[in-house]
Structure 1
Amino acid sequence: MTASPAGTTGRPAPPVPARQPSDFRAAFTDSSTVGLALFPLGIALGVLVVHAGLDWWWATAFTALVYAGSLEFLLIGLVAAATPLAHVALTAFLVNFRHVFYALSFPLHRVGGRLGKAYSSFALTDEAYALTTGEAARSWSGRRIVWLQVLCQLYWVAGGTAGALLGGLVPDRLTGLDFALTALFVVLAVDAYRARRDIPTPVLALVCALVARFAVPGQMLPAALGLFTAGLLARHALAPRKKEEEPARA
């Protein structure tokens, strides 16, 4: 019988674990699909900024400092019309009120440091929330989450700035650019439904939109958001009662 080589026992060597990608590379992969939508959407925002008569740098300021896609599209008209600050503040509060509910399940506790938590709270957008609260994101580190948010904002800022600088090349009467944000939200809603087939939620959203459309057509968006928020709160309050009643009936 031949002797085994020195330092070995004759057993096969354990498999070498696969090298994990860095947090930045992983976040870049995670954000790439959303970036394909955010960059052209930012271009649409930049074009609308220039066509509204504002200087190009307004697009960079909106995307870097405000960083709230739906609100930024509304701000274009508000700033161009020199709307009073109180009206702008109320509009911002109503449009972004949904972020209060995002904070309930967003994994901010994984993000370390005050600066990281502050930026992660600031950069909590619909896209970041959709990507970081799914089943696949339960094992993500805080650095990966922050890098994801940084990359998403870079796509948005780059697109908005490019659209504003090249906005003069786009015809003034080009229609449909303002629908780009709605189209992105539709895609996110479809993906969310595929991940969790919760039929009552989209039905409730549709009913609230229709009621607001016919009841207060001039203020459809804030009215629909208010009704939808009230509906979600009522559904959440009634859900535990249903769970308690089911065992009693059994």
Structure 2
Amino acid sequence: MGLGLVPLGLAFGVFVTQSGLDWWWASAFTSLIYAGSFEFLLVGLLGVLAPLTTIVLTASLVNVRHVFYALSFPLNRVQGGLPKAYSTFALTDEAYALTTREQARSWSGRRILWLQGLLHLYWVGGATVGALLGSLIPGSVKGLDFAMTALFAVLAVDAVRERRGDLPTPVLALLSALAARLVFPGQMLLGAFALFTVVLLARHMTSRRGTSHA
């Protein structure tokens, strides 16, 4: 998973320098913000001098999914105020996908922290190298812009394989995304999460009623 973050970091580092920013901005963004796709958007927003309210709203819409991640992320295993704070800060898609799998139920808080720290290091390192070598890495490398999409596709496939008996859930997620694309084209991500949440709550309530009647 860490190696999968390297091309993403390289792409971000190249993007930072080609946007006219100094190379160290790539290290600063990835170290202090660490928000993946939002970092790409942030560079573009800063480039057009977007107002602070626009940046805050964009960050909220892009990262709203982390609210749902927190519901099942094993933060309770992490001991100590500072470790918990970092674990909350470093709750990324990749960390969530790895720590909520069946095999990870016995992982200690220390192992979770090490995993998050290493993923963070891969991201910062890749971005820094990409920024320093930005002039040597062509911006038109075929497939580089698809690296993030490919990584998320792999995470989705792994999740489906992990929960073979729960196939309707990814189907419901896909239908929610398609519906949001049609109904909320300008706010697809937020709309998809809202629809998916409503559908899951409705399914949960229906299953509870069926169990109580049985």
Structure 1 segments, 4+ long, off by >6 Å, are none
1:60 aligns with 2:27: yes
Q: Specify the alignment match of 1:182 in structure 2.
A: 149
Structure 2 length normalisation: TM-score?
Answer: 0.90
Deviates more, 1:125-134 or 1:51-60: 51-60
The AA in structure 2 aligned to 1:64 is: S
What RMSD, in angstroms, separates the aligned Cα atoms of the two structures? Answer: 1.9
Structure-2 separation of matches of 1:87 and 1:60 = 23
Amino acid at match of 2:204: A
In terms of fraction of residues, the more helix-rich structure is 2
**Amino acid of the residue matched to residue 33 of structure 2?**
V
For residues 192-211 of structure 1, the aligned pairs below 5 Å read 192-197=159-164, 198-211=166-179
What secondary structure, in the 3-state scheme, does the structure 1 residue paired with 2:20 have? coil
Mapping 1:84-233, distance limit 5 Å:
84-174=51-141, 176-197=143-164, 198-217=166-185, 219=186, 222-233=187-198
Please tell me whether residue 82 in structure 1 is matched to residue 49 in structure 2. yes
Number of residue pairs aligned between Structure 1 and Structure 2 = 213
In structure 2, the partner of 1:16 is none
- Structure 1 length as normaliser, TM-score? 0.78
Query: CA–CA distance in 2 between the matches of 1:179 and 1:62?
Result: 21
* Partner secondary structure for residue 138 of structure 1: helix
Unaligned runs of 5+ in 1: 1-33
- Percent identical: 62
Unaligned runs of 5+ in 2: none
1:204–1:228 CA contact under 8 A, matched in 2: no
Q: Distance between the aligned counterparts of 1:116 and 1:162, measured in 2?
A: 27
- The answer (yes or no) to whether the contact 1:208–1:224 under 8 Å persists in 2 is no
Matched residue of 2:106: which SS?
coil
Alpha-carbon shift at residue 215 of structure 1 (Å): 4.5
Mapped to 2, the partners of 1:240 and 1:117 lie a distance apart of: 32
Deviation at 1:119, TM superposition (A): 0.3
Distance 1:139 1:210 in 2: 36
In structure 2, C-alpha distance between the alignment counterparts of 1:245 and 1:152, rounded to whole Å: 42
Kept in 2, the 8 Å contact 1:111–1:141? The answer is yes
From 203, 206, 209, the counterpart of 1:241: 206
Deviation at 1:57, TM superposition (A): 1.3
CA distance in 2, matches of 1:79, 1:202: 35
